[in-house]
Structures are given as C-alpha cells and as structure tokens.
Chain A
C-alpha cells in the first residue's frame, strides 16, 4: 500500500510491503488510484529503493530488546517507486492506502511503454524478475532516434558482449521485418581475437544458460524467454590486416588463433591518394594549425597525382612519377624501380614518404618544389615529414603498391559486400595510429556511400573505446567522421553502437546523440559526472556494484533506466569456446565423417 507518512507525488512515492510479500530493486509495480469523479488513473513505476526498519522504537539499542523478545516492534518494509508512466496522463498523486501490485503481463507492457512500441519492440534483456525488456527499434534504426551508447569499466561491464547481444536480438528477433537480411553490422575488434569466432557456436552456452535458469528460477532458458534462437552470427566476414613482411611476400591475415575464413585487407597506394586518406594518418591534426594546411594541400596534390588522366599513367595500384631522382642509397635501400620511360614507380608507403620528402624539402636545392610547398615554412614541412616517417612503419603493410590490381580489388575491405551481414574488422594487432587510420577510412567510406544510397540497409557500427577515437578534447578527422555519423548518420541508416569506459571522456555530442544508453559497472566517481545524469541518484550508486551480465538500460520511451541481465553469448568469444560439433551430437558428426 502507498505510504502516507512520506510525500506521495505523481513521480515518486513510497509503499509499504505487507508481511509475507517481498520486493526487490528494479521490480516494476503498478498502482491504481481513483479520482473523486470515480475515474481511475494508473501509475507504473520501478522500485529504486527498498528498506526495512524497526517501527515504534526510539533508540538504536532497542534492537537488542526487540531481538530478545522484550520489546514489541514491527518491521517496516517499504520501497520507493520512481514512476515511469501515468495513464491517462493525469498527474495527480496516488492516495495513501492505494494498493501496489507487481506489474505483470499487460501492466508490465504499460510500465515499459511496450504498447507504444508495438511490433517495433525487440528484446533487450531480462528484467530482474525474468520478464523481457522490450526496446523500441524506432529509437535504434533512426526513425525516431538512433545510436546506442554503452559505458562501463572494462572486463566487468562486458560492453562488447552486450552490444553483440543487441545486434543478435535485432537481427534475429524479426524486428527488422522483411528486410532482415538488409541489416548489416560493422564490428571493430579492438581487443584480442575475441570477436573472430562470432560465426562459431559456443560450446558452453547450454550449460551456462541451464545454470542461470536454475539460479534465477526461470521457466525456460533466457534465449527462449526472449524468443531468440541460440545460434552464432550468420554470414560473417572477418577482415584482418596482412602480416607485415617484405614487399612482394604473400599476403596472409595477421591473426594467431583462427586459421581459416579470415580475409586480409589493404588499400592500394593509388586508392590512398585518390580517396584522400592522408588526413586520417594524422591523428593530432590540431598540434599545429599550419600543419593542417600542409596536409590539406598535399592531400590535394596526391589526389591529382593519382588520377589516371594526370600524367597518363594507367590505373595501377602503384603510382609513377617522372620528376624524381631518388638517391642511389635510397634506390638500394628501398627497392625503387625505374620503368622503361624513365619514370619512377612508387610502390610502397615508404617510397611515397620519400617522394614527398623530396618534393617538399630536397628538390630545388633544399627549397622544395614551389607548387608543393606553397608558402609553408620549412619547419612545418619538416614536422609534416617527421610525422609521416613516424607512422610509415605502421601503415606500410596496409597501404601498398606492390600488389597486383586484382589483389588490390580482392583485398579491399568492403563491409557492404553482398551476402555478408556482419563484418568483423580485426584491428587489435595494429598500432594505435593504424587503428585510427583504418577506423577513420572505413567509416568515412561507409558514410560517403550511405550519403549516396540513402537510409535503406541499416548499418550498425560497433566501436569500442570511443574515447580514443572521439575524445572530448581536441580535433581529428576520425572524430569528425564519428560526429557526422552521430549527428547525421541516423537519417542515413548508419547506427553507431559505441562503447567506452568513461562517457565523460568522449565528445559530448556523440554521447548525447545516442537514444539508447546503457551502463554497466561504473567507477563511482565516474558515475557522478554529468554524462550520467540520466540515471537517478540511486541508480548511479548502484552502477558501482553491477555484476557482469547486468546492465542498466535507458531508452526514451521509459523515463527511468531499467536493470536487465542478458544471456551468455551463443557464439564463441574465444578459441576454446568454439563448439567443434556445431551443436550436433558426437554420433551425428561421426556419421558425417563416415559417409
């Protein structure tokens, strides 16, 4: 019953739990109150505070007398409710004494606004009492809102696992309607080779789910409760950078654990120039304003150089230049090739850097080529070259001219390849600069592609460590792309599922554009930052004690966050989790082998 000793308001109230009943945090409850005119108003809310105390005793030490059986006292068990919905919207307070009941069935649908979501709801996890949390797909796919942001401490908050679970739920729950195959995902793997087994069944899922079912007393395992299949991701392509090696060596993916099914990816040197990838090499463009101008003008120069018409060269992965006489040492060192026409073939990233150095600093007796140099001071140009030299080692395996045109086309990363639903791009082996480069270029390409074709085919981009790519302070081309995606992506059908340890360190506009926000375990100091104001105070305090597999989910339809747990991944997240039998019995597999 609603308590009369505490203020009862339309947004929050306390209720007494009768003996024999029990209420825990996150339970959803419903209250009906009667207006003087006889009509009813329903309140739905979530329990965000529970407490018990001895009632009728004055001193703290009275507890001894109560326990010894001398002092009569009753235990008062009360819970506080944050109202999530009032129906109809009459914001009168409930009356003390109104009965409070557990929200189930239709009440639950009302409490979580599932009635407003209709068939556009997909399961976002299970509530504390085992009921399904509906998430409004309209707030994911860009129709009413878009983007998902997940915060939490690494390892404990398992942000990636939840992001993947959401993807699985979106792809397999049927919420995308007939266009289910149209949805795509681009996932960046930034940590270990965790995500390289998404297409393999997890051998532990059955036992873990049975265990969770028994522990929580659920009627069925969690996938079944949410109506999701227990299966790995379908139609997945895995992209990994090529193993670094000398020019001309075989191009093999740089992965340790997975032997097959991983495609190496790279860009041709010509693409690098023609598609204006140079800015993505410079992560800290704002280090100097002048450097920005240099990058801009060189980018333009390289672009012109790469045009087939310019200079009349063919559309090859490498570039040829005629105005360069490399030093003899360099020729020996870097395997520079001259062709019949006397021009020089630039086929590695190092050569490109050497060429730029020549054009900017060495040509014209140290004056540099006037057209290239512009009015920049030599110091700036030197800084530019120094930075390029710094990243040269990291980008050499990724941007190359020593491959055939055919190879360049085959290994070009294409997340929108027909027949592929999920693309995992493994960048964990790359250095930070190369990671930024790949993420920036891929996202930029994706964005530009979507700008042309529009919003059909929603693409979900899963990116962990957003704080690295779009830090709060500073400026970088990658941040610009992410900002573009965050601010305009949803109308184009690019949905960012971003994750980071600390939302306070990520560009505010990216976090604030996410319609759905998820919080796992947080550092308590972090939880008090303004980025988490969407969590009521009691939830912020609790964010410090969340266990792995538990998340607080906030969505626009429900004014308060809801605590959910989500099932153990049905796909393998490590090599030793891969179910070699693919869910079949040993005998069946044996038969396959025999016949």
Chain B
C-alpha cells in the first residue's frame, strides 16, 4: 500500500488530490518535443516585477427602504487590490503599491441611494465612505457578486497597467520585457495585452492528456514544461499555459506538490508565440523559486509567494478591522434612527 499526503492544509477545500479532466483543446505552440526545459536566469532588462492580488469582504447585508417608498436588498462591502513592486535582481526594497480599500454599498437596481459617509465618534480615526452600486440580480448573493466583480476588474486593471505590453503578432516588436506582473490566481476575461502571468496555486483540472501528465512528477525544481496553447471547450478563452516546479515534493507528499500552472493571455494568431511569453516562461522557474515561501511561514508554501503573503496582510489591514466597521455601521444606523 502507498499513501501520500495532500500538500495543502486540510481546511483548504478540495485540496490537490482530485483533478478533473479537461475537455477543451491543447496544442503545442513552443515545441512538439515534450520534455522538461531548464530555468534560465532573469534577464537584466527586466527591472520591475509586480505581484498583484485582491481581497474582498462583505461587511453587512442590508434591507434598504429608500426615501421614495422602494425597498430591496443590499450590502456594505469593501474590496482592496494592491501590488508589491520588487526588483527581481534584489537591488531595491520591495514596496507596497496602491494598496487602498474601496467601499461600496451594493443595492437593488431600482432603489435611489446617496453615497454614505460613516463618521466616527472620535475625530482621530477617519471616515468610511460607501459608493452606491446597483446589483445585477436580486438573490442573496448578488451583493457579494457585485463586490467580486469590482474587485476582479480592479485587479485586472492594476495588473495590466503596471506590466510591459505584449506584442500581438510577428510584426509587433516594439517593446521589451521590462516590467512583469505576477497575478495571483487564474487570468480572467478577455485578452489584455500586458505581460501578466497568472499563477494557479491549486490545480483542479488536469489539462494534459494522460501520456504527458507523468512529466509533471519528473520535473526538477525550476524546470518547466513547454508552453502550450489551451482553448476552453466553449471556444471562448484561449491561454498560453505551462507548468513549473518550485520545489521537490517531500517523500510523504503527492508527487505533484510544488508544481504550479502558469498562464498568460494568448494572441489571436494561434501559431504565434510572443517572444515575451517565452521569456517569461524561461525565467518563471528562477523567479518563482526566489519568491516562493517556506513551509514554516506559510501553510501553502512554496506556491503562496512571499510578496503575496505580505500583500494579503496589508490588504486585510487596509480594509480595517471587521468588528470595528460593523460596530461603526450599527452606530451609524442608530444615529440615523435617533437612538443614539
């Protein structure tokens, strides 16, 4: 009998043991030769690496009656996106960029709501400002969905604003890879042309056919698979993907522990592999191994990157204490009703 452990802590849902089959399309775009490719050093020209992540929090679900006799559901929510800027050569201090919480008051579409400002009792502790945003649905999760959409859009914009442009075809060679964004999680939406690489920590779907999957267990730390072009079964989104191993799996772990899937947006031309994507793939092993965390500091090490962990902490802080916000909301409502 042979038993292996899931590398993720037990309270993370799903874990990494079960993999769904992928029923979209996979084609070779870098090389037809299916073998490990060693990591290359990070080119000097790459000066900035941004690690981007987002976070959201529902602060309160609401039942709202507006001044015009309408009523409906709503919610107070906060989200924050932010980036860590760092130099991949280690010549600068890493810095937090644009970590600032935004607050929305999601509400049923037919209500008329003014922006809300929650003033503190104590003048030294700042105000909370909620911008009204109509929801698209009416179910209980609609407010959360609005919040999530806002957060993802903000994250996507931030990622692409920061990164170098990726040329769209053979003729387009106007830019070098000088700024790269590492985004936590999969890329969403349509193609945007920034050098943004999505890091998928938890693999839920096996995109590789069975005859290729064995290579993942054989990768040495830093090595990657060739870049492939992946198209979802509905034909809607295409991505360039590859796998990279960050660390040896411990003997007790699942052999795929320490393997991460990376993806970038694919250009429309199915045979064109932008040189920037190849560069990113080449340096990804080196870069991510450097950014990888350690097991004693983060239960999801090494995939959860050091800057990401710091960013998550900073984002949580910028939203403020949930307890205090809830209390502030209650105090505000009490004030509105003349109770306090």
Contact = CB atoms under 8 A, between A and B. Distances in A.
A178 B176 CA distance: 83
A314 interface: no
B306 A65 contact: yes
B236 interface: no
Contact of B310 (A4, A68, A72, A97): A72
Nearest to A58: B297
B307 A71 contact: yes
A155 B111 CA distance: 83
B95 A59 contact: no
Interface string A67-78: 011111100000
A59 B310 contact: no
B56 to A, nearest CB: 21
B91 A69 contact: yes
Nearest to B294: A61
Interface centre among A65, A70, A96, A97 (most CB of B within 10 A): A70
Contact of A71 (B124, B296, B310): B310
B273 to A, nearest CB: 29
A65 B124 CA distance: 34
B314 A56 contact: yes
B86 A70 contact: yes
Given A70-B307, A71-B307, A97 B314 contact: no
Contact of A70 (B94, B124, B296, B314): B94
A57 interface: yes
Contacts of B90: 68-70
A589 to B, nearest CB: 62
A70 B310 CA distance: 10
A70 B291 contact: yes
A96 B311 contact: no
A568 B95 CA distance: 48
B87 interface: yes
Interface string B306-326: 110011011001000000000
Given A59-B297, A66-B93, A66-B94, A72 B307 contact: yes
Interface string A27-59: 000000000000000000000000000001111
B193 to A, nearest CB: 27
Contacts of B100: none
A211 B112 CA distance: 75
Nearest to B313: A56
B92 interface: yes
A71 B306 contact: yes
Contacts of B327: none
Contacts of A71: 94, 306-307, 310
A95 interface: yes
B310 A56 contact: yes
A97 B125 CA distance: 9
Interface string B69-88: 00000000000000010110
Contacts of A73: 94, 310
A56 B290 CA distance: 20
Contacts of B124: 4, 95-97
In this complex, the interface size class of chain B, counting residues with CB under 8 Å from chain A, is 20 to 34
B286 to A, nearest CB: 13
B86 A69 contact: yes
Interface string B289-310: 0110000110000000011001
Nearest to B314: A56
Nearest to B290: A70
Interface in A1-43: 4
B96 interface: yes
Contacts of A69: 86-87, 90-94
Contacts of A57: 310
Nearest to B85: A72
Interface in A421-470: none
A16 to B, nearest CB: 14
Among A58, A65, A66, A69, max chain B CB count under 10 A is at A69
A437 B93 CA distance: 70
A58 B294 CA distance: 13
Contacts of A72: 84, 86, 93-96, 307, 310-311, 314
A57 B84 CA distance: 14
A4 B124 CA distance: 10
A462 B296 CA distance: 64
A95 B124 CA distance: 8
A66 B92 CA distance: 10
Nearest to A73: B310
Interface string A83-116: 0000000000001110000000000000000000
A528 to B, nearest CB: 39
Nearest to B89: A69
Most buried by B among A57, A68, A97: A68
Contacts of B93: 66, 69, 72
A73 B86 CA distance: 12
Nearest to B95: A72
A580 B317 CA distance: 71
Interface string B89-128: 0111111100000000000000000000000000010000
26 contacts: A56-B310, A56-B313, A56-B314, A59-B296, A62-B297, A66-B94, A68-B90, A69-B87, A69-B91, A69-B93, A69-B94, A70-B86, A70-B90, A70-B306, A70-B307, A71-B94, A71-B310, A72-B84, A72-B94, A72-B95, A72-B307, A72-B310, A72-B311, A72-B314, A96-B124, A97-B124
8 tightest Cβ-Cβ pairs between the two chains A and B: A72-B94, A69-B90, A72-B96, A68-B90, A97-B124, A70-B306, A72-B84, A69-B94
Given A4-B124, A71-B94, A72-B93, 13 more contacts: A56-B313, A56-B317, A57-B310, A66-B94, A68-B90, A69-B91, A70-B90, A71-B310, A72-B94, A72-B307, A72-B311, A95-B124, A96-B124
